[in-house]
């Protein structure tokens, strides 16, 4: 029974991370593309408003994923946050700056003020988009863990070629995902610009993401990983075709599918480990030696069954309410906005 619960919670954590990358991925892409697709202040405000009602809700998936890891696999959580302390701290600071920038960029009618906060939005999107890939690349590849499951490497050990390719993969995928989202959520010139950019970004995304997934599959020889990686590659190719045909809805579905399948491929490849050791496989953290007690896992399972449908229903309702396309005409000329608005 304990083994079944640990496997279930490993799968649930994989789903939480896939959901986070699916939803926050296009938020990151919008922020990264802010200076590319937003040619003046009204267009940049338009881009921000496409994610204004949902970006903070999307970040809840990260909080839940972290909390679930802490409760279900405390050894994994402790080793991860001690060994990856600096990159995770950088991600946290970047996310905080981005959130503050959304709230404050329109508070003062001054071009320099807005440009500084725009830089925070761009950096607060670009940095996590890269570092999440680097972090998961290292988790799948393995890190130097000793017999006490303590990380004994340094920061530079995390900057290996495989992990850096993982960072480039998440950067390209999230940027493409964001471009497709903007083509889906806007109309007029911004929509056409975003669609053209998405069609252009598709080719490098296929090359980079395909190379990373192929490297992963060849290194671990996992059948499930091969299957999921292949399906992710097909979905990405479909996204490129749909983007070139200007079928934004299908393109967004395909990029979202790519992100989810690629995340699942990494977790399937990782299982039953949660953090392999490059020093000795016997020192690796697994779903068994890193898990909480059976009682804790049972309580968590009942809580998840009770509250997950409520959260999913509320978030789905939010997306439905704010489903319509936006245009520059929806953005008033006034620059200073009241408190609690994000434009």
Q: What is the pLDDT of residues 103-127, one digit of tens each?
A: 898 888 888 888 999 999 999 999 9
Residue 88: pLDDT band with limits 50, 70, 90: very high
Q: Residues 6 or more apart from 271 whose CB is under 8 A from it? A: 7, 10, 287
Distance CA(295)–CA(272), nearest Å, equals 21
Mean pLDDT for the stretch of residues 195-207: 93
In whole angstroms, give the CA distance from residue 300 to residue 27.
Answer: 29
Provide the pLDDT for residue 343. 47
pLDDT at 2: 54
pLDDT at residue number 327: 87
3-state helix, strand, coil in the chain (%, to 5): 75, 5, 20
pLDDT at 107: 84
Mean pLDDT computed over every residue of the chain:
90
| Between 343 and 158, residue with greater pLDDT | 158
Residue 215 has pLDDT above 90, yes or no: yes
Contact predicate 194/26, CB 8 Å? no
Distances (CA, A) of 192 to 183, 247, 307: 7, 12, 40
pLDDT at 121: 95
CATH topology of domain 2-326: Formate dehydrogenase/DMSO reductase fold (1.20.1630)
In the prediction, which pLDDT does 334 show? 53
Residues 164-176 have a mean pLDDT of: 96
- What are the residue boundaries of the structural domains of the chain, listed by start? 2-326
User: Whole-structure pTM over 0.85, yes or no?
Assistant: yes
pLDDT at 3 > cutoff 80: no
Q: CA 90, CA 136: separation in Å to the nearest integer?
A: 15
Instruction: Give pLDDT, residue 129.
Output: 96
The answer to whether the beta carbons of residues 225 and 268 sit under 8 Å apart is yes
Cβ-Cβ contacts under 8 Å for 6 (sequence gap 6 or more): 72, 73, 287, 288, 291, 297
What pLDDT does residue 339 have?
A: 47
Q: Match 């996310």 to its residue by tokens.
A: 95
pLDDT attached to residue 4:
86
Q: Where are the beta strands (DSSP E) in the chain?
A: 273-275, 285-286
Distance of CA 108 to the CA centre of its chain: 31
pLDDT value of position 342: 47
Q: CA dist 106 to 27, 54, 233, Å?
A: 19, 18, 40
Q: In which band, very low, low, confident or very high, does the pLDDT at 271 lie, cut at 50, 70 and 90?
A: very high
Distance CA 197, CA 85 (A): 35
Question: Do 59 and 208 touch, CB atoms closer than 8 A?
Answer: no
């Amino acid at each position: 029974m304990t083994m079944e619960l640990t496997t279930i919670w490993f799968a649930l954590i994989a789903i939480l991370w896939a959901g986070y990358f699916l939803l926050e991925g296009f938020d990151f892409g919008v922020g990264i593309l802010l200076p590319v697709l937003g040619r003046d202040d009204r267009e940049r405000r338009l881009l921000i408003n496409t994610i204004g009602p949902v970006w903070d809700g999307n970040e809840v998936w990260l909080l839940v994923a972290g909390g679930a890891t802490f409760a279900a696999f405390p050894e994994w959580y402790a080793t991860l946050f001690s060994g990856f302390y600096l990159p995770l701290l950088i991600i946290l600071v970047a996310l905080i700056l981005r959130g503050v920038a959304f709230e404050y960029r329109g508070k003062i009618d001054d071009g320099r003020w807005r440009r500084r906060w725009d830089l925070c939005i761009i950096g607060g999107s670009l940095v996590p988009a890269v570092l999440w890939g680097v972090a998961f690349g290292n988790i799948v590849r393995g890190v130097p863990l000793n017999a006490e499951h303590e990380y004994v490497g340094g920061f530079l050990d995390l900057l290996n070629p495989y992990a850096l390719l993982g960072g480039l993969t998440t950067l390209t995928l999230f940027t493409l995902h964001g471009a497709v989202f903007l083509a889906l959520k806007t109309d007029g010139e911004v929509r056409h610009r975003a669609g053209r950019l998405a069609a252009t970004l598709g080719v490098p995304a296929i090359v980079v993401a395909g190379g990373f997934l192929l490297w992963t599959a060849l290194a671990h020889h996992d059948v499930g990983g091969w299957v999921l990686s292949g399906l992710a590659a097909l979905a990405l190719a479909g996204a490129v075709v749909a983007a070139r045909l200007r079928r934004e809805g299908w393109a967004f579905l395909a990029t979202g599918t790519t992100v989810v399948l690629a995340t699942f491929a990494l977790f399937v490849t990782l299982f039953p480990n949660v953090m392999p050791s490059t020093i000795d496989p016997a020192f690796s953290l697994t779903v068994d030696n890193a898990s909480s007690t059976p009682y804790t896992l049972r309580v968590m399972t009942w809580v998840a069954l009770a509250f997950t449908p409520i959260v999913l229903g509320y978030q789905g309702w939010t997306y439905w309410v704010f489903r319509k396309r936006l245009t520059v005409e929806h953005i008033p000329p006034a620059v200073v906005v009241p408190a609690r608005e994000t434009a």
